[in-house]
Copies of this chain bind each other. A is one copy, B any other.
Amino acid sequence: MKKIIGVDLGGTTTKFAILNEAGEIEQKWSISTDIEREGINIVPNIIDSINQQLSQSGLSSTDVLGIGMGSPGSVDIDKGTVIGAYNLNWKTLQQVKEQIEAGTSIPFYIDNDANVAALGEQWKGAGEGNANVVFITLGTGVGGGVVAEGKLVHGAGTAGEIGHMNVDPNGYECTCGNVGCLETVASATGVVHLAQDYAEGYAGDSELKGLIDQKQEITAKIVFDQAKKRDPLAKKVVDKFSFYLGLACGNIANILSPNAIVIGGGVSAAGDVLVDGVREYFEKYAFPPVKTSTEIKLAQLGNDAGVIGAGSLVKMSR
């Protein structure tokens, strides 16, 4: 059985794994991402790290089926290039595939990081064994990836922009220029925005309200933690968050009928309180047969979703 290499390129760390063809991780390592000098060392460092690891493991390029990579920024999957990945300082077009294939003699496949995480959860995580999985990642922003009938959906190029689904035509302004995008209420900053908004007119007894009034720095984690402690303002905020995300999930499921909608990213660390709330509104807005055929689940792979999904890119390309 041949090996697959998965690479998860991030602004701070680049994670690597050697997987077998069943998607099981055999080796894992990471290097810090050198974003100095417009990120000129990023690709050479990846090449060196892979070659070194292979030689240490007694493997040669012919033992490897392919290298898959998830990248931030705007990825051209056919050409294997990346542009506009600002957390990598990559402002100009990067010939990633060309360089990595030349430097390793191994076939290379790339996609954007949200799509790759979706593939990871669909292959070995919360969506395992299902041909239809939608992944939503709640972090600084809200991203997503769609796997339909076993294929990652790119569409005309921007499929999976779930963070920009409109959930409130009278909602907050979004960085994209529109109003009421899911990202404005379900990202880490969105949850804080909701909390500040609701705190303003809130008259009852609430620890969260106290923190906000004292100008303490609020995070999504604080809001969810307070909700778990039954703080009434925090519960109101989480309820509104759940309404928006549940509405979005309902509409996704009405269109695509996925076996699972998988929720990951930093905000999802809140756990069951988050998924239970979302499920409540999902069931309100999903078409009746969809309520039972689509599961709302937490992501299971955590930080490994990227390297596993990157490996899946190799597997799916064959």
Contact = CB atoms under 8 A, between A and B. Distances in A.
Interface of A: 132, 134, 144, 146, 148-149, 151-162, 164-166, 169, 176-178, 181, 243, 247, 250-252, 254-259, 284-290, 293-294
A162 B254 CA distance: 6
14 contacts: A148-B155, A153-B256, A153-B257, A155-B256, A156-B290, A156-B294, A157-B257, A158-B287, A160-B257, A162-B255, A164-B290, A166-B250, A166-B254, A178-B288
A164 B256 contact: no
A257 B156 contact: yes
B155 A251 contact: no
Contacts of A293: 155-158
Contacts of A176: 287-288
A288 B74 CA distance: 14
A251 B158 contact: no
A288 B255 contact: no
B290 A166 contact: no
A151 B132 CA distance: 12
Given A166-B285, A255-B255, A132 B155 contact: yes
Interchain residue pairs A-B with the least CB separation, the first 5: A155-B257, A164-B287, A156-B293, A159-B257, A166-B285
How many identical chains are in the complex?
2
A258 B162 contact: no
Given A166-B285, A169-B285, A284-B178, A158 B290 contact: yes
A93 to B, nearest CB: 17
Contacts of A152: 149
Contacts of A181: 287
A75 to B, nearest CB: 13
Contacts of A251: 165-166, 251
Given A148-B151, A161-B287, A259 B156 contact: yes
Nearest to A133: B155
Nearest to A181: B287
A258 B155 contact: yes
A161 B284 CA distance: 15
A183 B191 CA distance: 31
A152 B151 CA distance: 11
A153 B165 CA distance: 20
Given A149-B151, A151-B151, A284-B178, A164 B132 contact: no
A169 B294 CA distance: 20
